[in-house]
């Protein structure tokens, strides 16, 4: 399998009827600042964001639904190890991560951009809820943009008139998919594989055709989490540029993968893996 270039672009034509007009974009996000910041970035780029759909994944401030899924899929021992790894990580990195997060995502600025846009906000527990799907359909989207941990079902992906559903992943696909790609690239002694990908969402986990992707260099005081956030910021810029180009030309990049190895879908790190990460690499916290 070939390694990705710093940026890869290939245009595909969706028809002249898609060109030279502003396309109606509906955002599918979770109600957290870094997801809302993607909305703000697109709005500032003059993308026509006509609605925002927020899927709440937490109960009483806790990711209980995600926790239950982990328990069901992998059992108590693996889940407990992952929870322990996360707690140890946060104890060591919370303050430094918080400073970088605030630098990357300005809450007051994001709130002001969204307030001025005044796009309707649809709140739900799942995008598959009939009421949520109907509300999305009523917005008549041409394009969906996804920045969310929540699953986007097929009947929602079929809503946009152009068929375009754009997502992103803070990792280089297809080599590093799933959770915390920067962590796994560093653990595997492959810092050159830290990066981000904007892609066409399909039924797989970060398997869609690439719009554009790029690498990230580890900055002083970065952690694997801050690298994820830097990747999110780059994805938002790339999505905005791709949609504006689509507005002008009716064309958008689409690069299929030659092969998607099953082992490239990584899960959350466990405690043993996190301790190995701390002892075998020193580029990031």
Residue 218: closest CA among 206, 207, 210, 226: 226
pLDDT digits (tens, 9 = 90+) for 232-285: 999 999 999 999 999 999 999 999 999 999 999 999 999 999 999 999 999 999
Please give the biggest Cα pair distance in the chain: 56
- What pLDDT score was predicted for residue 5? 47
Nearest alpha carbon to residue 180 among 235, 227, 221, 238 = 227
**Does the domain made of 11-280 have the CATH classification 1.10.8.100?**
no
**Alpha-carbon gap, residue 92 to 98, rounded angstroms:** 12
List C-alpha distances in Å: 222 to 96, 125, 178, 219: 9, 33, 20, 5
Residue 150's nearest CA partner among 56, 262, 10 is 56
Distances (CA, A) of 11 to 14, 132, 249, 254: 10, 32, 10, 6
Encode pLDDT of 86-137 as tens digits: 999 999 999 999 999 999 999 999 999 999 999 999 999 999 999 999 999 9
pLDDT band for position 6 (cuts 50, 70, 90): very low
Greater confidence, 64 or 175? 175
pLDDT band at 66 (very low <50, low <70, confident <90, very high): confident
Distance, CA of 25 to CA of 14 (rounded, Å): 16
Cis peptide before 148 (omega within 30 of 0): no
Judge whether residue 2 has pLDDT over 90. Answer: no
Domain boundaries, the chain: 11-280
Closest CA to 266 of 150, 200, 182, 199: 182
């Amino acid at each position: 399998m070939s390694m990705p270039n710093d940026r890869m672009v290939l245009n595909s034509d969706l028809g002249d009827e898609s060109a030279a007009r502003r396309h109606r974009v509906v955002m599918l996000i979770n109600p957290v600042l870094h997801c809302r910041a993607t909305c703000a970035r697109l709005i500032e780029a003059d993308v026509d964001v006509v609605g925002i759909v927020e899927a709440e994944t937490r109960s009483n401030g806790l990711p209980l639904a995600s926790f239950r899924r982990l328990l069901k899929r992998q059992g108590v021992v693996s889940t407990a190890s992952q929870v322990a790894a996360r707690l140890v990580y946060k104890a060591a990195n919370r303050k430094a991560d918080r400073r970088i997060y605030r630098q990357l995502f300005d809450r007051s600025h994001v709130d002001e951009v969204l307030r001025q846009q005044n796009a309707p906000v649809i709140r739900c527990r799942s995008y598959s809820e009939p009421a949520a799907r109907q509300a999305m359909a009523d917005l008549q989207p041409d394009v969906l943009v996804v920045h969310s941990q929540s699953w986007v079902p097929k009947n929602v992906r079929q809503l946009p008139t152009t068929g375009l559903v754009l997502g992103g992943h803070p990792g280089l696909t297809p080599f590093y998919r799933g959770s915390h790609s920067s962590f796994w690239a560093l653990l595997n002694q492959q810092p050159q594989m830290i990066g981000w990908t904007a892609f066409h969402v399909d039924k797989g986990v970060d398997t869609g055709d690439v719009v554009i992707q790029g690498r990230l260099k580890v900055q002083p005081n970065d952690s694997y989490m801050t690298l994820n956030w830097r990747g999110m910021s780059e994805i938002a810029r790339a999505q905005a540029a791709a949609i504006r180009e689509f507005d002008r030309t009716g064309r958008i990049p689409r690069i299929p993968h030659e092969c998607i190895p099953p082992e490239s879908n990584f899960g959350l790190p466990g405690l043993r893996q996190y301790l190995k990460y701390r002892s075998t690499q020193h580029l990031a916290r």
